[in-house]
Amino acid sequence: MLEHKNLKQLKVIDAVIEHGSATRAANHLNISTAAVSYILKQLRKKYSNELFTRTRTGMNPGALAYALQQEYRKLQPLTDERKNFVISTYAPFEYALTSLLNAHDDRSPSQTIRFSRLAETPDRRLDALQRRMVDIDIGAELEHSPSIVSAPYLHSEMCVVVRKQHPVIRKQCTLSSWHTHYHLLWYRGQNMAEMIMQGNAASTELLASRKIACESSNLLNMLYHCSRSDHIMLMPSFFIRHFGHLFAVKALALPEGISLTFNCFLHYHVSMNSHPKLMELLALRHQLQ
């Protein structure tokens, strides 16, 4: 068991691990780089351990650095050890994962899975992972962070969704229908479409030319509205396979000339590497396809 540590020193260790360099850690803590270097020097001398290995890409923490970080986490009121295992993701993933996890649930009674809504911006999502307020983040790929692991989780073709009794769009959605009808937009913040969907240049132009009736971050609400109007919307085929039966809608292929795919990633803090629940979620991705 590690002896009691100076909280300020532990905070510096935590910041260097999360941000990958003394300079970025200093900027985050609003102190000088020299102050960070001095504290690291004190700790190296105290423990006769380098703590970090300098590389071209930054400072790689050793086992003792990670142990000191865990001590700091335990001392933080907001990051005390939780009984909940927090998964932050989109509502459709929550629906699908709840069913799959409950099918072979072997959690101890003291641990509860708690789903939370994804933060609106990538920076806030990354901050929640770094501060360990969220254990697993499943969504659009986040920018690289030294302490956060990003793993491909789901690849799905996009489709057009309309109500089953649509008066015009029957078995296919033409380019004419695409331009004539209003669209419902699943809005998850600025540039969300570019973050989760990939396609050719023509597809990008067609996305930009849509007539938007309304937008919402609540995908299930948009799907319900779609089932009761003549509007159309884009959705990953994966979502329709898992809960399309709950609404009076049908999924159709994209109009000719449009090619779009949905790409989703699972993110977690590097200290979660061997967590059994993480292993279970990674195994379940094959059942989600």
Q: In the predicted model, is pLDDT for residue 266 greater than 80?
A: yes
Give the residue-averaged pLDDT of 99-126.
Answer: 73
Residue intervals of the chain classified under CATH 1.10.10.10 are 7-78
- Alpha-carbon distance of 204 to 53, in angstroms, equals 43
pLDDT at 237: 86
Q: Single out the residue of 199, 176, 206, 204 nearest to residue 259, CA to CA.
A: 199
On the question of pLDDT at 211 being above 90, the answer is yes
CATH code: domain 157-261 is 3.40.190.10
Kindly report, residue by residue over 4-33, the tens digit of the pLDDT: 458 888 889 988 988 888 898 898 888 999
- Return the CATH number of the domain spanning residue range 7-78: 1.10.10.10
Residue pair 158/236 in contact (Cβ under 8 Å)? The answer is yes
Distance from C-alpha of 94 to C-alpha of 262, rounded to nearest angstrom: 17
Range list for CATH 3.40.190.10 in the chain:
79-153+264-288, 157-261
User: Could you give the C-alpha distances from 36 to 41, 65, 111, in angstroms and in order?
Assistant: 9, 14, 37
For 224-261, write each residue's pLDDT tens digit.
999 999 999 988 888 887 777 889 999 999 988 788 88
Evaluate if residue 218 carries a pLDDT over 90: no
Which structure tokens are listed for 227?
Answer: 């089932």
**Mean pLDDT of all residues in 113-119:** 85
Query: Once rounded to an integer, what is the mean pLDDT over residues 117-141?
Result: 86
Entry pTM: 0.67
| CATH superfamily of the 79-153+264-288 domain | Periplasmic binding protein-like II (3.40.190.10)
Say whether pLDDT at 98 is over 90: no
The fraction of the chain above a pLDDT of 90, given in percent, is 27
